Amino acid sequence: MKHLLPLLLLLVLGCQDKVLGLTDNATPLVHIHVKVTGDLQALRPESTLKETPHLRVALVWGGVYNPDPFCGIYQVLPLDPSATAVAQAGCRDIFGFVPQQVGESVAVAPDGTATIDLINLPNAAVLVGEVTSRVGYASILVFDDRNNNGTLELHRAAQNRNGGGPGGGPGGMQTPDSATPTTLTDFVYGASFISQTQPDQRIAYLEGTFDANNALYGLFYPRTGCATGPTTGFSILSAGGFAPIDGLKALAGVAGDLEDPATCSVKTLDAVIEIPLQATETVRDPACTGGGSTGVIRYSPPSQPGATKQQPQPDLTQPWACMPIHYSPCLLGVPIPGLDCSAFDATSRPALAVAAVPSDCKSTTHYILKGCQNDANCETPDWDFTTAANPPPAWWPCATGVKP
């Protein structure tokens, strides 16, 4: 009897430790094993050498990216040297990985290893498909967490009319060798998935079953040609990459396999993802947001309508080109079923495309003298610099079409 009371107390109080209530001690859903290889010190820009590097890896979920037609055409097809120069300088890789959400991030150990404990499932914003079958892809980014806040800040292209310069986005905008850095931007030194035109290892998350014939999947980082798709839950997909021209054909709806089946693989997360370090200048795009790309060109006026002050003009020391109003598939010069190119005049080039000043993220600004932001041929133009009363700015280098 004398032992009954302590036993009862133990019974009553002993189990309380297992009650967790609202304690957020979430056990990881999965572990992602990473091995970073290479010498960071040799790759660091000179301006950062006085800093203590904080090398980390971050899981970054990819988003849908719709390149505008100018970048889509001139980045791949050598139709016009000046336009190609603008596209090379001012367009991100149209087949590149485009980040949408930054997930978990962990420090890289001195031996180059890191394990990401995934606590949360990707949310619906980064999944493509339907509730019964949807997929998301992520890239593992290796970065120097220069502001040491434990996570990766994505960059975005500058939105100002000069096409670049400091202060354009979270984490600031600066070049790695900037003498006067505005803020300590995180520099990316490697990624498991940089571009579909390069060999990649991507983290896939699939709900339901994967239907390779789903049209949505064919547009979202497609792997057509690979025999097997992602497995339900998490998996690591690998592919060898495809040629840009093949990717352009796929975007245009021309059927064909993109990947060499011999380069494809599907692994469980037990596998280690090896990521070689590379110069940060060569791996900027995976940390640049898509900027809400919609697949259409957004035009800007050469000056603010009604402005009395002198407006800043584009930096014409950067690559620029005078272009037709519509960078449509008609430029390809081949008949495309359902597309009427009879009214298209490739010799008329009243639009100005200017690449942004080199920075964290590439961008191109398109100017027209008359039109609207979303439609150069809108019935009621938001601006019109083609009249005698409101002439084009003196610096305008393209055709003006000014009416006397």
Partner 1 sequence: MTTTTADPQRRVDLGVFTALPAALGTGLSSGVGAGVLHAGWLTWGLRASYAQATEYTTTWATTHREFRLRAVGVLQRSLGRGAVGLRLGVGATLLYESRARAQAARLGDAGTGLDTSTWAALPGGELEAFVALPIVGPVGLGLSGGPSLHVFQGSVTPGWLAQLTAVWWP
Would you give the binding string for partner 1 spanning residues 184-223, x where CB under 8 A is met?
-----------------------x----------------
As a whole number of angstroms, the distance between CA 348 and CA 335 comes to 20
By C-beta, is 27 or 347 nearer to partner 1? Answer: 27
Instruction: Look up residue 228 and give its two tokens.
Output: 């097997």
Q: How far is CA 219 from the centre of its chain?
A: 15
- Choose one: 115-123, 193-201, 270-278, 307-315; the region binding partner 1 (CB under 8 A): 115-123
Distance of closest approach, residue 101 Cβ to partner 1, in angstroms:
15
As a whole number of angstroms, the distance between CA 355 and CA 162 comes to 9
Q: Is 232 in the site for partner 1 (CB under 8 A)?
A: yes
Instruction: Look up residue 179 and give its two tokens.
Output: 């003498």
Q: Phi and psi dihedrals of 12, rounded to 5?
A: -70, -45
By C-beta, is 271 or 346 nearer to partner 1? Answer: 271
- Which contiguous run of DSSP H or E holds residue 114? strand 113-118
Q: What Rg value do the Cα atoms of the chain yield, rounded? A: 26
Distance of closest approach, residue 66 Cβ to partner 1, in angstroms:
27
Distances (CA, A) of 385 to 305, 368, 394: 8, 9, 11
Distance of closest approach, residue 207 Cβ to partner 1, in angstroms:
5
* Closest-CA residue to 241 (of 285, 198, 207, 209): 198
Q: Which of 40, 106, 121, 346 binds partner 1 (CB under 8 A)?
A: 121
As a whole number of angstroms, the distance between CA 96 and CA 286 comes to 7
Instruction: Look up residue 356 and give its two tokens.
Output: 């942004």
By C-beta, is 21 or 78 nearer to partner 1? Answer: 21
Cβ neighbour number for residue 345 with a 10 Å cutoff: 11
Cβ neighbour number for residue 58 with a 10 Å cutoff: 27
Instruction: Give yes or no for a contact between 198 and 241, defined as CB atoms under 8 angstroms apart.
Output: yes
Distance of closest approach, residue 19 Cβ to partner 1, in angstroms:
5
Where in 294-388 does DSSP place strands (E)?
299-300, 320-323, 351-355, 364-367, 370-371, 383-384
The C-alpha torsion from 236 through 242 and 245 to 246, rounded to 10°, is -80
Q: Please report, as a single letter, which amino acid is at residue 386.
A: T
- Which contiguous run of DSSP H or E holds residue 87? helix 81-90
By C-beta, is 121 or 216 nearer to partner 1? Answer: 121
Q: How many residues bind partner 1 (CB under 8 A)?
A: 21
Q: What is the dihedral sign for C-alpha 317, 396, 322, 94?
A: positive
Would you give the binding string for partner 1 spanning residues 303-342, x where CB under 8 A is met?
----------------------------------------
**Interactions with partner 1, residue window 8-67 (CB under 8 A):** 11-13, 15-22, 24, 26-27, 29
By C-beta, is 119 or 252 nearer to partner 1? Answer: 119
Distance of closest approach, residue 2 Cβ to partner 1, in angstroms:
20
Distance of closest approach, residue 169 Cβ to partner 1, in angstroms:
27
Q: Is 120 in the site for partner 1 (CB under 8 A)?
A: yes
As a whole number of angstroms, the distance between CA 239 and CA 228 comes to 11
Distance of closest approach, residue 102 Cβ to partner 1, in angstroms:
16
By C-beta, is 30 or 85 nearer to partner 1? Answer: 30
Distance of closest approach, residue 7 Cβ to partner 1, in angstroms:
13
Q: Is 119 in the site for partner 1 (CB under 8 A)?
A: yes
- Choose one: 91-99, 118-126, 334-342, 347-355; the region binding partner 1 (CB under 8 A): 118-126
By C-beta, is 207 or 246 nearer to partner 1? Answer: 207
Distance of closest approach, residue 124 Cβ to partner 1, in angstroms:
10
| Residue ranges in contact with partner 1 by CB under 8 A | 11-13, 15-22, 24, 26-27, 29, 119-121, 207, 232-233
